[in-house]
Amino acid sequence: MGHMDYSAQMRDLGLRVTRGRLAVLEVLDGHPHSSAEKVVAEVRCLLPQVSIQSVYNVLNDLTAQGMLRRFTPPHSAALYETRVNDNHHHAICTGCGRIEDVECAVGHAPCLVPSENHGMEIQIADVLYQGICEDCRKRAAA
């Protein structure tokens, strides 16, 4: 998705289009599943005058507005990505921490039906696949 689309999306949401916001989206397009720390470092390569706090604010604001998705794998900082609204899941290698997107086989949330809902209207089933990636398996076998 290009800048024009992000600008239009922000205007539709009533958000001011700023270089800082566009830079965060651009960085996350190129580096999906980045931590706030990584986004700060990358954004400041592009726009050295942007403060750390303002990058954190942008991450929070755009997540709240649904333009970014935040998820937190076990033992990890929160990670961000621009791929939203498709209920995709993540597969994480417990050896090296590598993260891959996995299409939801069902395509909408929740994609699992609980055996017992305790009277709750279930909206999301968080699915996280954990395993050992090919590289780690090769390293272990070597």
Binding site listing: 93, 96, 133, 136
In the complex with Zn ion, the residue whose CB is nearer, 5 or 126, is 126
- Binding-site residue numbers for Zn(2+) are 93, 96, 133, 136
Rounded to a whole number of angstroms, the minimum distance from the CB of residue 71 to Zn ion is 7
In the complex with Zn ion, the residue whose CB is nearer, 40 or 82, is 82
Contact between residue 34 and residue 75 where contact means Cβ atoms under 8 Å apart: no
The residue with tokens 């996995």 is: 102
In sequence order, which residues have a C-beta less than 8 Å from that of residue 129 and are 6 or more positions away? Answer: 89, 90, 91, 92, 102
Contact between residue 58 and residue 24 where contact means Cβ atoms under 8 Å apart: yes
CA–CA separation, 67 and 49 (whole Å): 24
CA–CA separation, 132 and 93 (whole Å): 5
Rounded to a whole number of angstroms, the minimum distance from the CB of residue 129 to Zn ion is 10
Single-letter residue type at 131? G
In the complex with Zn ion, the residue whose CB is nearer, 52 or 114, is 114
Interface with Zn ion (CB under 5 A), residue from 136, 139, 141, 142: 136
Rounded to a whole number of angstroms, the minimum distance from the CB of residue 126 to Zn ion is 10
Report the DSSP beta bridge partners of residue 80: 34, 70
Subset of residues 77 to 116 that bind Zn ion, contact rule: CB under 5 A: 81, 93, 95-96, 98, 101, 104, 106, 111
Query: Which positions lie near Zn ion, rule CB under 5 A?
Result: 81, 93, 95-96, 98, 101, 104, 106, 111, 133, 136
